[in-house]
Amino acid sequence: MNASAWHMLLEGAWTTLWISAVSIAIGVMAGLVIALIRLARIPIVDQLLVLYISVARATPLVTLALFIFLSAPDLGLDLNRSVAGILALTLNTTAFNAEIWRSAFRNFSREQSEAAMATGMTPWVTFRRIMLPQMVITSLPGLVNEMSFLIKGSPAIAVIGIVDLTRVTNRISAVTYEPLPPILVAGVLYMAIIGCLVWLQRLAERRANRLAT
């Protein structure tokens, strides 16, 4: 592999990284918001959210990405590839994250929030200062798991023409006729990215030990 091949690989890695990062950031937040809304059990809204979650969890990423990219012009939307890719990844991961947050809410101990309310905290302060920090810690294994699923599933967005870390290896081997080296390097780069996440998770686990009483 020459310098330009390396350059292309790193560019592909960067594309995978930033598109995934943006999708993860939005997806984790949106999942929390959906879980919060579902706590209120608003009729119709709740059913719509359940429908979204089931559909999004059941749809393959490739299908979802294609659908969004191809239907956008019909809806009068001018989506560029990156936005369509992020949208697909986000819609997918949000559904899974919403379920992770929801179970964190369900399992949160009532005694903990009662102790907070008893000191005069409003429900909002209780949520922000007492519930959320503990829910983040207990949900992190599930969330990080979902993050690595998303990164590993991200090559699906190549279907709408995004040149990510996997797609770029194709392009390189089309010129060099040596497919193995670039795909090997790509594999190592994926492992490095996921490795960072796992390391983060281990840091979090050390904190989680405190919650075990």
Partner 1 sequence: MSEANTSEMAAVSIRHLSKSFDDVEVLRDVELEVKTGEVVTIIGSSGSGKSTLLRCINWLEKPDRGSIHIAGQRIGVHEDGRPMPVRELAKVRAKTGMVFQGFNLWPHLNVLHNVTEAPIHVQGASKREAEERAMALLEKVGMVDKRDSYPNTLSGGQKQRVAIARALAMQPEVMLFDEPTSALDPELVGEVLAVIKDLSAEGYTMVMVTHEMAFARAVSDQVVFLEKGLIIERADPETFFTTPKTDRVRKFLENHDTPSPA
Residues that bind partner 1 (CB under 8 A): 111-112, 114-123, 125, 129-130, 133-134, 137, 207, 209-213
In the bound state with partner 1, the residue whose beta carbon lies nearer, of 80 and 112, is 112
Q: Cα(first)–Cα(last) distance of the chain, in Å?
A: 54
What angle do the packed helices 45-58 and 3-39 form, to 10 degrees? 150
Instruction: Give me the least distance between CB of 115 and partner 1, in Å please.
Output: 4
Instruction: Give me the least distance between CB of 122 and partner 1, in Å please.
Output: 5
Give the residue among 180, 190, 113, 114 at the shortest CA–CA distance from 150. 190
- Inter-CA distances, 18 with 21, 24, 101, 200, Å: 5, 10, 24, 18
In the bound state with partner 1, the residue whose beta carbon lies nearer, of 80 and 122, is 122
In the bound state with partner 1, the residue whose beta carbon lies nearer, of 76 and 209, is 209
In the bound state with partner 1, the residue whose beta carbon lies nearer, of 134 and 173, is 134
Cα Rg for the chain, rounded, in angstroms?
20
Q: Which two tokens stand for residue 29?
A: 């937040």
